[in-house]
Amino acid sequence: MNNQKFNHTSIIFAGHFAIDHIIRFKRINKPSLGGSVSFCSLALRKYTKNADISIVSHIGKLNFNNTLLNKIRVKNINLGGIKYSQVKNTNFILDYFDHARTLTLRSRSPNLNFNDIPSEFLDNPPDIFVLVPLCNEISYEYVSQVLKTFPDAYIGIDLQGFIRKIDETGKVTYVYDNEILTNLRKIIDLIGDRLILKGSEEEMKLIAGECEGFEEVMSYCNQYENDGIYIMTLGEKGSMLTRKGEKVLKIPAFKPRKVIDETGAGDVYLSIFLYELFHSDKSWKSVKKAAYLASAAASFLIEKKGPAGFETRKAVLKRMKKERYIN
């Protein structure tokens, strides 16, 4: 795989940027740039130069320091799909303790509007369009317009921002909500065979209803009338993948040198997996290779604080070949 050469890839990440206020073991850190669009785009750019990466988002200017975007601007990532408004930006407090966290939303940017996507994006259809909302800012109608406009694109989905329940105090939880889950199922059915969906253990169990065991959750995903790929990330336990008619894949987690910040590991996994999948023959064997690379790439992310722990494909391949897994 070291000598594998890829054609140029075009990929769009859509969702909110966030201002993350991270509290770790009661220690408050300096506000940092967050949001899946940040982690996904920066991870993929470090991984490869052979991709056209663009971001579609909506930023509230009132509490957003625009210099936070400098680390993205210098990486040749197209920010022409950002709309600005005179409102407050999406702002989260992430309180970590003992590998768990509570999440509180303090302010929120407006929903994404497909009509805000610039013509340069529409005239140059992406190979992959990745929907990574943070707080339900991407609607069924938005997804429908994406599919009509880019019928040949693979569609990546991160579950978190589609199914989060946010109460009046801003507390973010994952609880059964029939309206939210019905909307998600409609989106899954709409996308069809080009779907690649990723969720955490908690998120995947929620959409699977009463399913408890990992295998049972994976089996539930195969009820959908499509041949999409469903991924459940399990932290230190690795990840699992399923596609209708295939044996469930169990992918180990790779050992990091140290654990500093787990925020964004799932985003790194998704972006690297999508890139590798697109450049494969889509066989289940190739899916397995893509998942191992994605898992290895995610292990680098947690070694540094914030959107910083990214590595090149060469380094990821090296770690993958060492086969040092978390037991």
Render pLDDT for 193-222 as a digit per residue (tens, 0 to 9).
Answer: 999 999 999 999 999 887 778 999 999 999
Q: 8-12, 18-22, 111-115, 220-224 — which is least confidently predicted?
A: 18-22
Is pLDDT at 20 greater than 90 in this prediction?
no
CATH class of the domain at 9-17+31-56+122-322: alpha beta
User: What DSSP letter does each residue of 237-302 carry, written as one string?
Assistant: G-EEEE-TTSPPEEEPPBPPS--S--TTHHHHHHHHHHHHHHTS---HHHHHHHHHHHHHHHHHHT
| High-pLDDT (> 70) share of the chain, % | 97
When pLDDT is cut at 50, 70 and 90, the band that residue 128 belongs to is very high
- Where do the structural domains in the chain lie, given as residue ranges? 9-17+31-56+122-322
Which helix (H) or strand (E) covers residue 202, if one does? helix 201-207
Average pLDDT of the chain, as a whole number: 92
Global pTM value: 0.93
